[in-house]
Amino acid sequence: MKTYDAVIVGAGAAGLMCALRAGQRGRRVLLLERADKVGAKILISGGGRCNFTNLQIGKDRFLSHNPNFCISALKGYTQHDFIALVEKHKISYHEKTLGQLFCDNSARDVVKMLLEECRSGQVEIRLSQHILDIGKSDLFSLQTQDGVVQAQALVLATGGLSIPKIGATAFTYKTAERFNIPIISPRPALVPLLFEGEAFSFLRSLSGISLEVVATCGKHAFREGLVFTHRGLSGPAILQMSSYWREGMPISLDLAPGLDMEAFLLGHKKTRANAQLKTILGEVLPQRFADALTSTYFSNDTIGTLTDKKLKDIAASFKAWRLTPTGTAGYQKAEVTAGGIDTSALSSKTMEVAAVPGLYIIGEAVDVTGWLGGYNFQWAWSSGWAAGSAL
């Protein structure tokens, strides 16, 4: 039976960062991964180019029942620290919109970098490992198909429930329950919204159409792209907003951001009185969408026959199109999992469970969920670094 200073379960972003940090501090580290390769989520992220962080990291970009919990870890290992690591390994990258940083070439470059850093810390990595049992006396004891390993510290880094096709499981949640660690009910986040039923049948005819909108849910609004799908709405604006949406809540879409729609319609009434409304709306919307809106919500009269009040009402509806989703596309399509391990059980500086000394929980499984755009990877790097620095 082999004994380590730390066993880390899960070789995703958080687990790899934790392992390399602890290993480079001289700790004897074993990293166990259920899959046959490390970094599965890293490899598929950003269309295969890995949106590895964001220049605009701040606590306001993260959801949690304790919004201040993430501050310590994010300050302890910042986006600039990770960028420095990327540059150390001569990985070329670029900034896209809203501070998002992507690899120029491939997400494989990031995984290779993390593995090289693990090797420099002499981290032992075992793949295709199934943990059959976990116990604790003086040491943590893990039973795998290859035998028992022991460690002074155990780190849970297996992520949440999102994207089960690449191996997501409830392992961390189930282990937390065994140690009586409180959990905030997990739910899909950064996920497409569904609109089912006859009332929304016209949306299905719009599948594939995209446009820029301001999507609002409660107090939160995002100006980004929207995409119609065969089941509802997706695209960055919808994914961002979905993290704040709850069942039964309406959403609002400004279909012409930055445009004074009332002045636009009243002006066209004077200059193009004989034009049909769908033709006028087609100047600011994809024509197929304009056709659907006029046939479903507005009469398709010539604009000159519509009263000023009617045009003002249309403009108001256009700037705040209200819809109530019937659900989300679930964990299959969710980029991350919101909720998870209650932060009240953890140290914000080390990610250690207060009631179970030596047990640490990091990454997506914790009740800290970032916006779309590299924020969740930064939480993985930062929380992993915090735990790796404490082991």
Q: How far apart are CA 209 and CA 228, in angstroms?
A: 5
pTM over 0.85: yes
pLDDT tens, residue order, the chain (391 aa):
899 999 999 999 999 999 999 999 999 999 999 999 999 999 999 999 999 999 999 999 999 999 999 999 999 999 999 999 999 999 999 999 999 999 999 999 999 999 999 999 999 999 999 999 999 999 999 999 999 999 999 999 999 999 999 999 999 999 999 999 999 999 999 999 999 988 788 888 999 999 999 999 999 999 999 999 999 999 999 999 999 999 999 999 999 999 999 999 999 999 999 999 999 999 999 999 999 999 988 888 999 999 999 999 999 999 999 999 999 999 999 999 999 999 999 999 999 999 999 999 999 999 999 999 999 999 999 999 999 999 9
DSSP 129: -
Query: What tens digit of pLDDT does each residue of 202-234 get?
Result: 888 999 999 999 999 999 999 999 999 999 999
Concatenating the DSSP letter of every residue in 133-193 gives: EEEESSSEEEEETTEEEEEEEEEE----SS-GGGT--SHHHHHHHHTT--EEEEEEES--E
381 vs 113: CA distance, rounded Å: 13
Name the CATH code of domain 2-188+337-390 (choices 3.50.50.60, 3.30.43.10, 3.40.50.720, 3.90.198.10): 3.50.50.60
207/201 Cα distance (integer angstroms): 11
User: What residue ranges do the domains of the chain occupy?
Assistant: 2-188+337-390, 193-328
Token match 């019937």: residue?
326
Q: What's the confidence (pLDDT) of residue 115? A: 98
The span from the CA of 382 to the CA of 112, in Å, is 19
Q: How far apart are CA 7 and CA 310, in angstroms?
A: 67
Indicate the SS3 state at residue 286.
coil
Decide: 33 and 129 in contact? Cβ < 8 Å: yes
d(CA 133, CA 131): 6
In CATH terms, the fold of domain 193-328 is Elongation Factor Tu (Ef-tu); domain 3 (2.40.30)
